């Protein structure tokens, strides 16, 4: 069976296999596939935000069937998981903080892709990113809500070799625990996700290669979101 055949029969036609995004019946849905960009910097609107905006704009350009939403964790009070396991009884958390506001958006059945963007802090993700990802455990415990969503990762550091790739790997590890489908940033830069440098002359706006990886990541996540949901392989 060729790749197109596998995708059609193995993914789209498998009853109950596809849980993310638009319904799998080809061309029969008017609903859009939603891609969430989650900025895990404590600083709203700064370099990681700019990188994610580039990424999401590129995703929207793939097709009119794609819509995007940027979620800023900066300014939100999201504490670490306390392992009470209350969330095993439903999409609820015993911690009373701002995570509750995000639950409906994260659980939306039209979300077909999620791009996690984080600054690099000492070679890894921010504590805001880790707290957010740990709290997302509830979506795994309740019917694997993130399963088959397309996962993309983006990291911004001030240094060229500041730990972006290590950070991507660590975030991707969490997405794999949700049975998400993790992708690289796709051609023509295809490696491990979007990596950007904010500390050079001219800031992140001058990091043309990094911004290219961000755009490529958005396009790749969008392509795959449509592919998985329609069962038709793209070019």
**β-strand 33-39 against 66-72: which pairing, if any?**
parallel
| Cβ(195)–Cβ(164) below 8 Å | yes
**Smallest gap, in angstroms, from Cβ of residue 126 to ligand FMN?**
8
For every residue of 63-117, DSSP letters joined together read -TTEEEEEEE-TT---PPP----GGGGSS--SS-STHHHHHHHHH-TTEEEEEEE
| Cβ(131)–Cβ(99) below 8 Å | no
Closest to ligand FMN by CB, 37 or 119: 119
Planar angle of CA 232, 233, 235, nearest 5 degrees:
135
Closest to ligand FMN by CB, 68 or 198: 198
**Smallest gap, in angstroms, from Cβ of residue 47 to ligand FMN?**
3
**Smallest gap, in angstroms, from Cβ of residue 227 to ligand FMN?**
30
Closest to ligand FMN by CB, 22 or 120: 120
Nearest to 151 by CA among 111, 187, 119: 111
Nearest to 59 by CA among 112, 9, 15, 13: 112
Closest to ligand FMN by CB, 49 or 227: 49
**Smallest gap, in angstroms, from Cβ of residue 108 to ligand FMN?**
25
**Smallest gap, in angstroms, from Cβ of residue 70 to ligand FMN?**
12
Closest to ligand FMN by CB, 46 or 172: 46
Closest to ligand FMN by CB, 68 or 164: 164
Which tokens hold the place of 68?
A: 């995007």
Closest to ligand FMN by CB, 162 or 231: 162
**Smallest gap, in angstroms, from Cβ of residue 163 to ligand FMN?**
5
Which residue matches tokens 């490696």? 191
CA atoms within 13 A on the CB side of 152: 37
Is the Cα dihedral 213, 219, 225, 229 positive or negative?
Answer: negative
**Smallest gap, in angstroms, from Cβ of residue 97 to ligand FMN?**
21
Residues that bind ligand FMN (CB under 6 A): 41, 43, 46-48, 119-123, 156-159, 162-163, 198
């Amino acid at each position: 069976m060729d790749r197109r055949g596998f995708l059609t029969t193995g993914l789209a036609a498998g009853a109950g296999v596809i849980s993310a995004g638009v319904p799998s019946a080809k061309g029969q849905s008017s609903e859009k596939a939603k891609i969430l960009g989650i900025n895990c910097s404590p600083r709203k609107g700064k370099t990681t935000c700019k990188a994610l905006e580039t990424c999401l704009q590129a995703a929207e350009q793939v097709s009119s069937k794609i819509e995007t939403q940027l979620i800023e964790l900066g300014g939100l009070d999201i504490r670490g998981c306390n392992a009470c396991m209350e969330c095993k009884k439903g999409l609820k958390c015993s911690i009373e903080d701002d995570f509750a506001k995000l639950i409906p958006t994260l659980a939306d059945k039209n979300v077909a892709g999620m791009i996690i963007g984080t600054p690099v802090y000492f070679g890894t993700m921010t504590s805001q990113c880790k707290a957010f990802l740990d709290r997302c455990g509830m979506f795994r415990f309740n019917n694997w809500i993130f399963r088959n969503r397309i996962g993309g990762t983006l990291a911004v550091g001030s240094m060229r070799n500041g730990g972006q790739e290590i950070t991507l790997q660590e975030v991707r590890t969490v997405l794999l625990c949700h049975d998400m489908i993790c992708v690289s940033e796709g051609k023509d830069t295809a490696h491990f996700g979007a990596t950007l440098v904010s500390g050079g002359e001219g800031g992140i706006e001058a990091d043309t290669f990094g911004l290219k990886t961000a755009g490529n990541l958005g396009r790749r996540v969008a392509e795959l979101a449509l592919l998985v949901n329609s069962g038709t392989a793209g070019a």
